[in-house]
Amino acid sequence: MYYNDKTLVFLNGDWRYAEDAQTSLYGQTLHYGNGVFEGIRAYKNDVGFNIFKAHEHYERLHKSADLMHIKIPYSVEELVSISYELLDRNNLTDAYIRPLVYLGANMALQPTDEVNVFICAWKWEKYLGHDPIKAKISSYQRIHPASQHVEAKVVGHYTNSILATTEAKKLGYDEAILLDYTQHVSEGSGANIFIEKNGELFTPSRGNILPGITRQTVLEICKDHGIKVTEKPISKEQLLEADTAFFTGTAAEIAPIAQVNNTVFPLSWEDSIGQSIYHIYRQKVLFNDLQNQTII
């Protein structure tokens, strides 16, 4: 699914076939989860392709690394350039890009000097599909902000997401929604959430969420188009009383939610603000980073 025998990946300054890229079995990331990553999408357009908000993604990668005491040996500009070259080398246009910064052999619970940078890409459809989905409020709580840097995209944090997603799917749902330690809505297992009520949008405020780049894009679209949106704590009751809702994330893009638990939202996706935003978003992703876009 992710690679074949001709797939090239970037690893520590070299271009290698995916099957030849190797790492230590004693790595701190493998044993303890201390590593950071990003998910980035490229979109084909009529002059080539555009990697959407590549700079913002790599700036966040650097911020995540700094919070975890990891020094990335490449600048944001270098990482953006490598990503465009990666797609060119693999003849990809519509693609998902996965940069991973992982650590070398270290059994101690402290930073290690060996920092590895791996970047790969593959074709990947919308993570949650195109149809409105059913979501389940998870029995698992989102990571407490006093225990981890929730604003960092850290490898180990996603065990929380795996547990929530697995539970939801076993119960017949497509995705999970996690509450934070205050019992307010936090986010999905890998996406932020917006709810619509009486013609307005609401989304959980920062502090107990990973503030996503797609989430920020939706906020920008709302500002540009006069759509009222409020960042605030959202209770479970407010979620269930919403007219409709949607997830946002690089992998999921903008994904409509038709149902949470046993509650079916009364407003159809076709009549929602979310669908209007999605159409604007689809145009925005094609030409957001013109100065770096590859022309083919």
The pLDDT of 250-266, averaged and rounded, is 97
- Global pTM exceeds 0.75: yes
Q: Higher pLDDT residue, 46 or 30?
A: 30
Residues 6 or more apart from 230 whose CB is under 8 A from it?
Answer: 200, 201, 202, 203
Which is it for the CA torsion 2, 116, 107, 36, positive or negative? negative
- How do 244-249 and 192-197 pair as beta strands? antiparallel
The pLDDT of 89-95, averaged and rounded, is 97
Residues 6 or more apart from 280 whose CB is under 8 A from it?
Answer: 221, 225
Residues 6 or more apart from 132 whose CB is under 8 A from it?
Answer: 256, 257, 258, 259, 269
What amino acid positions are annotated as catalytic residues?
153
Task: Work out the pLDDT band at 32, boundaries 50, 70, 90.
Answer: very high
Task: Work out the pLDDT band at 128, boundaries 50, 70, 90.
Answer: confident
pLDDT for res 286: 85
Which is it for the CA torsion 176, 253, 232, 149, positive or negative? positive
SS3 label, residue 199: coil
pLDDT for res 288: 62
Total number of residues shown for the chain: 296
Residue 295 pLDDT exceeds 70: no
CB 53 within 8 A of CB 248: no
Residue 294 pLDDT exceeds 70: no
**53-88: pLDDT as tens digits:** 999 999 999 999 999 999 999 999 999 999 999 999
CB 72 within 8 A of CB 101: yes
Tell me what the pLDDT averaged over the chain comes to: 95
Tokens, residue 212: 């996503």
**Greatest pairwise CA separation for the chain in angstroms:** 55
pLDDT for res 289: 53
CB 88 within 8 A of CB 15: no
The pLDDT of 246-274, averaged and rounded, is 97
How far is Cα 254 from Cα 119, in angstroms, rounded to an integer? 24
CB 136 within 8 A of CB 260: yes
The pLDDT of 123-152, averaged and rounded, is 94
Residue 222 pLDDT exceeds 80: yes
Residue 290 pLDDT exceeds 70: no
Task: Work out the pLDDT band at 47, boundaries 50, 70, 90.
Answer: confident
Amino acid residing at 32: Y
Tell me the β-bridge partners of 296: none
Residue 11 pLDDT exceeds 90: yes
